[in-house]
């Protein structure tokens, strides 16, 4: 049973939405925690704290509401950030768009239990079994269950710190069945066991462009072969000198899956706008939080001088830093050539890019 040592609390997560692309989280019965924060999120080693927050709200009159965009079932944690004991006040479960989810206080056990939808019931039943029986139940689900989403959630619950060949094989099979999926992306990160790889993993952030639209870095990275994260400002002469080189690389490689996310460090919105639109006609994604070097994004990347840049592969690993002038184009060119060579070698040895055998009579 998943428990939270929180006296007298009652928490309800209701996912009865007008749209199935999100969940609504409502907290009730938390009067003793008025003024504290409650959050919902999931474990993600690519973020600075190892935890990606999906929504957060202040408890007022014992209640709080969070509306969260979510288009697929996900293993999450609900955390009550109540003073120094915040780490104790948490419960996990699987939320799913269109389902109903609640966390109720169990007075007999002096703990909270999460009661979710079909997927949470399935995985919780396996986890509640004693000892090795829980591991075998999860394994049976991810190997044999008909529903690929249930298999994926069981795989996530059973995933070990190290790489298990059987689990990796199942992950690859599920990727071919499900395609783009947040849980699959996380499992790919969890397969990186070397400290060097984790150290090179890009840090996620979300920021607004000049039109007020949100841009999330991980979404851009996953949709492109290579993404350049470029920190710049309108007053920075060396940054401005790099713009022609960025344009050359962008025009040459954008159609081949190269994108740029420029993070502006001006504290003057008009200066950012003028430089972006009137002076230099920036074509790529261009965002800011208008906090200059006080920006948590700049702090997260340890940027204390600009220009600064990070070239990121679509698995989130940094493959180049501070590539200036012609070096950016040369690096991307080499990376794309290496990718093409790997693809050619795979096909030559009778396998496609995914490593699957190719039928010689039906290529």
What span, in angstroms and rounded, lies between the C-alpha atoms of 335 and 75? Answer: 35
Find, among 343, 311, 353, 306, the residue nearest to 330 by Cα.
311
Residue 247 has pLDDT above 60, yes or no: yes
What pLDDT score does 201 carry? 61
The structural domains of the chain, with segments of one domain joined by +, span 10-114, 123-193, 202-346
Q: What is the pLDDT of residues 23-32, one digit of tens each?
A: 766 676 677 7
Report yes or no: 319 and 247 within 8 Å, Cβ to Cβ.
Answer: no
Report yes or no: 23 and 97 within 8 Å, Cβ to Cβ.
Answer: yes
Bond preceding residue 167 cis, omega within 30 of 0: no
- Domain 10-114 identical in fold to domain 202-346: no
Superfamily for the 202-346 domain: Glutaredoxin (3.40.30.10)
Question: Which position has the higher pLDDT, 100 or 262?
Answer: 262
What span, in angstroms and rounded, lies between the C-alpha atoms of 363 and 357? Answer: 10
Question: Which position has the higher pLDDT, 333 or 201?
Answer: 333
Residue with tokens 């969070």: 66
Question: Which position has the higher pLDDT, 53 or 6?
Answer: 53
CA atoms within 13 A on the CB side of 355: 5
Report yes or no: 56 and 66 within 8 Å, Cβ to Cβ.
Answer: yes
Residue 339 has pLDDT above 70, yes or no: yes
What span, in angstroms and rounded, lies between the C-alpha atoms of 26 and 59? Answer: 10
Per-residue pLDDT, averaged over 224-234, amounts to 95
Q: What angle do CA 93, 200, 306 make, to 5 degrees?
A: 115
Report yes or no: 177 and 167 within 8 Å, Cβ to Cβ.
Answer: no
Report yes or no: 258 and 224 within 8 Å, Cβ to Cβ.
Answer: yes
pTM: 0.49
Question: Which position has the higher pLDDT, 340 or 162?
Answer: 340
Could you tell me which residues come within 8 angstroms of residue 149 by beta carbon, excluding any fewer than 6 positions away? 72, 73, 119, 178
Report yes or no: 156 and 149 within 8 Å, Cβ to Cβ.
Answer: no
Question: Which position has the higher pLDDT, 164 or 240?
Answer: 240
What pLDDT score does 163 carry? 52
- The secondary structure of residue 202, as a DSSP letter, is P
Residue with tokens 């096909």: 347
Q: What angle do CA 172, 175, 176 make, to 5 degrees?
A: 95
The alpha helices in the chain, defined as continuous H runs, are 118-127, 132-144, 148-158, 165-178, 182-190, 195-200, 217-223, 237-253, 269-273, 296-300, 327-348
What pLDDT score does 14 carry? 34
**Average pLDDT score, the chain:** 79
Find, among 33, 40, 36, the residue nearest to 14 by Cα.
40
CATH class in words for 10-114: mainly beta
Q: What is the dihedral of CA 339, 341, 343, 349, to 10 degrees?
A: -150
């Amino acid at each position: 049973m998943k428990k939270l040592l929180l006296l007298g609390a009652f928490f309800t997560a209701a996912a009865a939405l007008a749209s199935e692309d999100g969940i609504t989280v409502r907290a009730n019965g938390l009067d003793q925690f008025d003024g504290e924060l409650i959050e919902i999120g999931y474990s993600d080693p690519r973020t600075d704290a190892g935890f990606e927050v999906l929504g957060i709200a202040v408890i007022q009159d014992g209640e709080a509401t969070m509306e969260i965009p979510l288009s697929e079932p996900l293993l999450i944690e609900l955390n009550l950030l109540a003073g120094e004991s915040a780490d104790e006040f948490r419960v996990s479960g699987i939320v799913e768009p269109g389902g109903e989810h609640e966390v109720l206080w169990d007075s007999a056990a002096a703990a909270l239990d999460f009661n979710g939808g079909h997927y949470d019931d399935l995985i919780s039943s396996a986890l509640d079994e004693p000892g090795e029986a829980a591991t075998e139940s999860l394994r049976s689900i991810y190997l044999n269950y008909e529903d690929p989403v249930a298999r994926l959630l069981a795989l996530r619950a059973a995933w070990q710190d190290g790489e298990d060949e059987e689990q990796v094989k199942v992950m690859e099979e599920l990727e071919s069945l499900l395609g783009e999926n947040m849980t699959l992306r996380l499992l790919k990160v969890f397969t990186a066991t070397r400290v060097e790889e984790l150290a090179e993993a890009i840090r996620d952030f979300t920021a607004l462009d000049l039109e007020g639209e949100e841009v999330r870095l991980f979404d851009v990275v996953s949709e492109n072969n290579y993404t350049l994260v470029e920190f710049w400002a309108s007053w920075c002469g060396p940054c401005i000198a790099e713009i022609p080189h960025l344009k050359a690389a962008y025009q040459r490689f954008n159609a081949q899956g190269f994108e740029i996310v420029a993070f502006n460090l001006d504290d003057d919105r008009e200066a950012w706008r003028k430089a972006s639109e009137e002076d230099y006609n920036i074509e790529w994604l261009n965002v800011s939080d208008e906090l200059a070097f006080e920006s948590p994004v700049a702090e997260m990347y340890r940027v204390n001088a600009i220009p600064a840049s990070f070239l990121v592969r679509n698995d989130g690993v940094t493959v180049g830093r501070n590539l200036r002038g012609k070096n950016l184009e040369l690096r991307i060119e080499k990376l794309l050539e290496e990718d093409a060579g790997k693809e050619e070698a795979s096909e030559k040895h009778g396998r496609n890019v995914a490593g699957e055998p190719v039928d010689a009579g039906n290529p």
